[in-house]
Chains A and B, each alone.
Chain A
Amino acid sequence: MLTRMTTDVDLATAVNLQSPSATPRASLDCPAWNVLPADVRAVLSRLRDTQGFDFLMDVTAVDWSAEKSPRFTVVWHLYSSTRHTYVRLAADCASNTEPAMPSATGLWPGANWHEREIFDMFGIKFDDHPDLRRILMWDAYPYFPLRKGFPLAGLPAELSDPDITAETGTGLISAPMAGGPFVATPGGPMSEAEPRAKDEAWNEQRAKPV
């Protein structure tokens, strides 16, 4: 326990040395800090080089919804292969309409695809990213599906191939939800846990009760 505490203190010192404005972030598991976008790269590289956090586990993002400001937060999880612990950093994007964040690709090449996925799903641009293209959807897809305002069923759009669109006359539709969304309930017996429509009261013919 004592070792654990001293390491956390070391960590806090390391983070604060690099970014005096960093504040501890509420966390139920590993140590976490909020940092400013401008400091992110410096803090990440300090944690990597002086504290042994050599593995970038994950980069992800949160959309807190259009009403909130700051709207977008980018989150990094680092793992240390020597201490066997994690640390989390989070930084709010300065702009709610044109969110951007410094890229970590210069520190870990593996950040490349994580950041492309965040760009694809949230529309957050990563400065100095070597190849910032969509990774899951195709380049011409007009929406950012993991933003809060985007419906699970999707919005109408064109297929990626104009030839096929002309030939079949089909495109993307809003998926029929038929009383959905179809989600799993964790816990309980398997028969109850499997994905199913949560609200059976409405379907394509009958509108959802308000």
Chain B
Amino acid sequence: MVTANSELAYDSKIEGDVIVTRADAAINWMRANSMWPMPMGLACCAIELMAAASSRFDIARFGAEVMRFSPRQSDCMIVAGTVTYKMAPVVRRIYDQMAAPKWVIAMGACASSGGMYRSYATLQGVDRIIPVDVYISGCPPRPEALLDALMKLQAKVKREHSASKLFSA
């Protein structure tokens, strides 16, 4: 009796040691599932970011648990908090130090738009100094919202034409 092969995974009995795929798919798969965050915790939102990393919410399920405090080793800057004008150049410099490919999540009202701080001291949205991929609403957003943003970012990464970008660069 012939049954359909329901296995979605790589099966060494059938395929031997060879895997056939597209470069884009392979690269994006690796990038999306090992997105190491650069925690840019600047205010109260950072507390929710920490909660997202802890056992109840467990950002490790998405391969993003390795919070790197070194920009060279991180892929995704999570701007969690109020960016003051004094801090803005620092945020931009850290972003510049991150190696490509890199993404940015603006977590919370402050990072997205300045939030309730319509004042002389607060940058009115971090997108004025760095390109943002995903915005999260909320003050603060719940950890689930951060995880949702991470999944959205993964979906976005999976649509990228990474190979052509990689080889043309």
Q: What is A's interface to B at a CB cutoff of 8 Å? A: 136-138, 143, 145, 150-155, 159-161, 163-164, 167-168, 170, 172-173, 175-178, 180-182, 195
Query: Chain B residues with Cβ under 8 A from A154's Cβ?
Result: 119-121
Within 8 A of A (CB), among B113-130: 114, 116-122, 124, 128-130
Report if A145-B92 is in contact (Cβ < 8 Å); known contacts: A164-B129, A175-B114. no
Partner of A152, one of B88, B114, B118, B128: B118
CA distance A152 to B129 in the complex (A): 22
> Are A161 and B118 in contact, with the CB atoms below 8 A?
no
Query: Chain B residues with Cβ under 8 A from A159's Cβ?
Result: 85, 88-89
Query: Chain A residues with Cβ under 8 A from B130's Cβ?
Result: 168
**B86 near A: Cβ within 8 Å?**
yes
CA distance A58 to B127 in the complex (A): 38
CA distance A154 to B121 in the complex (A): 7
Residue ID in chain B nearest A177 by CB atoms? B118
Partner of B119, one of A138, A160, A161, A175: A175
Query: B85, B88, B92, B122 — which one has the most chain A CB atoms within 10 A of its CB?
Result: B85
Partner of A164, one of B88, B114, B120: B88
> Are B118 and A176 in contact, with the CB atoms below 8 A?
yes
> Are B118 and A182 in contact, with the CB atoms below 8 A?
yes
CA distance A178 to B122 in the complex (A): 15
**B93 near A: Cβ within 8 Å?**
yes
> Are A172 and B129 in contact, with the CB atoms below 8 A?
no
Within 8 A of A (CB), among B126-142: 128-130
Report if A175-B92 is in contact (Cβ < 8 Å); known contacts: A137-B86, A138-B86, A168-B128. no
> Are B118 and A164 in contact, with the CB atoms below 8 A?
no
CA distance A167 to B91 in the complex (A): 13
Report if A150-B120 is in contact (Cβ < 8 Å); known contacts: A168-B129, A170-B129, A175-B114. yes
Shortest distance in angstroms between A82's beta carbon and chain B's nearest beta carbon? 39
Shortest distance in angstroms between A123's beta carbon and chain B's nearest beta carbon? 14
Query: Chain A residues with Cβ under 8 A from B128's Cβ?
Result: 168, 170
Partner of A160, one of B86, B118, B120, B121: B86
Known: A152-B120, A163-B89, A175-B124. 12 other contacts (CB 8 A): A137-B86, A137-B121, A150-B120, A152-B118, A155-B120, A159-B89, A161-B92, A163-B93, A164-B89, A175-B114, A181-B118, A182-B116
Query: Chain A residues with Cβ under 8 A from B88's Cβ?
Result: 159, 164
Shortest distance in angstroms between B43's beta carbon and chain A's nearest beta carbon? 15
CA distance A153 to B116 in the complex (A): 12
Report if A173-B86 is in contact (Cβ < 8 Å); known contacts: A152-B118, A167-B92. no
Closest 3 pairs between A and B when the two form their complex, measured CB to CB? A154-B120, A161-B89, A175-B118
CA distance A173 to B96 in the complex (A): 23
Query: Chain B residues with Cβ under 8 A from A152's Cβ?
Result: 118-120
CA distance A172 to B121 in the complex (A): 8
CA distance A42 to B120 in the complex (A): 37
